[in-house]
Homo-oligomer: A and B are copies of this chain.
Amino acid sequence: MLTDAVREWRDALGEDSVICDRTQIERAQTATFQTQQTIPIILRPASRDQVSEIMRVANRHKVPVYPVSSGRNWGYGSRVPVVSGCALVDLGKLREIVDFSEALGFVTVQPGVTQRDLQHFLTGRKSKLWMDATGSSPDCSLIGNAMERGFGHTPYGDHFAQVCALEVVLANGETIRTGFAGLPAARAGQVYRWGAGPSLEGLFSQSNFGIVTEMTIWLMPAPEYFQAFFFQCDREDGLAAIIDALRPLRMDGTLRSAVHIANDYKVLAGIQQFPAGETVPLRPARMRELRRQLKFTKWSGSGALYGTRGQVAEARRLLRKALRGVASKLQFLDDRVLKLAARFTGVYRLATGLDLRKTLELVKPVYGLLQGVPTRQPLGSAYWRKSMPVPPDPDPDRDGCGLIWTAPVAPMEGSHAERLAGIVERNLLAHDFEPMISITLLTERSIACVVSITYDREKSGEDEKAMDCYLALQAELAREGYYSYRLATPALPAPSSDSAYTELLRSIRAALDPNDVLAPGRYVPRV
């Protein structure tokens, strides 16, 4: 059966686009945590029609396929399918920027278009629009991230909320477009999401109901003025008060973007790799000493203000007022200060106590992300426990970085943030991992606690230990009602005790993919 499918795929795509090279396949089978699933073959379609043809062949021969955009779903399963035997469909060749409007602020892209591609495109046109970037890698696919409902740092940070006009190849090989974009000569397809009739975008995010081959994503107008802010808090129990202080500003729109609050472990992993000579795991008591030594605090927050100078000044006033007494060292940074600081690196140290050059190196990528400029810098922390230094072209899959991400969501209330952080710290330390977390003020009313279990896959036994930790953590979080906004492959499908809901998903699945050939098991429970 597979051999028949492969023959037909070769006919449809050409020899070069059907890859059975062992090295490439083994790489594709490698995630940042242990997986057993095998991939028989890799397909690299070069057009939407070829994607359709792949699905027709898959149905004819009942061979499952697993599509990836850039395949950089690090920490959540990379390119590895949920079940063995899926042909990997790598959409990287579909790399066209199909449409763009400077006036209306949108761009229409194919799955191979990366954050870097879009950034270059905008810079090349001297566009006054900003993209939003996720802090993972410049080489991440925009479609891949939006369909996984990833998030970034600007007011357009909730990626899935900012997209429309999906072009989708269904499991049967047919193509549809969502919203008005599917109607003849439609004018508003790229500017209005819902269309008329049922709205289907959600159906194609975190699912296996179709392959998104085109998507429109909205871009924000560059503000007249931009100012990043940073704050600190050295009280171990200071998190709750910060969340409660910021909630009104996030809810009323004074803070238009996610604010990220990292704990000490997360900050340390951003500065350096695991400190030589220390015992694993770094205990909180030892962290306290390191904090004093390296001059950072238990909690470090970052965010930004966007608008006219007047709007930013007013937001700054409100932020100062809100954080008074709950955070310390609230500092603001804009282009002018950044340039000035760069000139005087040799002369003075910033309040952190780190030398200025180093601080600037650390701050610049965050400063950029807050303006939607993609960076590979945060990816360095995936090498935290590795003995090799962070290479110039980090690739956690290739380098045996152990990384499992999870991001439970909670109401934006201090008590929840504190409880979440507590559960995570306890579980990770119990399994000998440093609990690196950041609390993100994700939407106006919700926070996500982004957790990374970071280890060295080349150390024997660590893969198992990390998976044990992940599953134990997920179990406790589920008991407490905190569910992750996104799931790592081993935890798929989505947890649910509600059989009617599961049945609903299954019946949609059966209607759309009766042969169960499109990414079987992905988010939707199999029959």
Contact = CB atoms under 8 A, between A and B. Distances in A.
B511 A409 contact: no
A296 interface: no
Contact of A481 (B186, B206, B307, B485): B186
A204 B200 CA distance: 10
A524 B206 CA distance: 24
Interface residues of A, number: 98
Copy tally for this chain in the complex stands at 2
Given A180-B409, A197-B524, A200-B202, A186 B483 contact: yes
A442 B198 contact: no
Interface string A273-287: 000000000000000
Contacts of A247: 103
Given A198-B202, A203-B198, A483 B183 contact: yes
A175 B499 CA distance: 10
Contacts of A252: 220-221, 223, 307
Contacts of A223: 252
B314 A318 contact: no
A443 interface: yes
Contact of A170 (B218, B411, B483, B504): B504
A314 B493 CA distance: 48
B501 A511 contact: no
A221 to B, nearest CB: 5
A197 B256 CA distance: 26
Contacts of A218: 444-445
Contacts of A308: 254, 314, 318
A486 interface: yes
A512 to B, nearest CB: 7
Contacts of A478: 183-184
Given A106-B445, A252-B223, A504-B512, A198 B188 contact: no
A446 interface: yes
A485 B105 contact: no
Contact of A508 (B202, B411, B508): B508
A284 B446 CA distance: 51
Interface in A353-402: none
Interface string A290-317: 0000000000000000011011011101
A347 interface: no
A444 B155 CA distance: 13
A429 interface: no
A313 B248 CA distance: 20
A478 B218 CA distance: 25
A175 B503 CA distance: 11
7 contacts: A176-B504, A191-B412, A194-B206, A197-B493, A197-B524, A507-B511, A510-B511
| 7 closest cross-chain pairs (CB), A and B | A199-B202, A197-B494, A511-B511, A185-B481, A198-B207, A310-B314, A191-B445
Interface of A: 103-106, 149, 155, 160, 170, 174-177, 180, 182-188, 190-207, 209, 218, 220-221, 223, 247-248, 251-254, 256, 307-308, 310-311, 313-315, 317-318, 409-413, 416, 442-446, 478-487, 493-498, 500-501, 503-505, 507-508, 510-512, 523-524
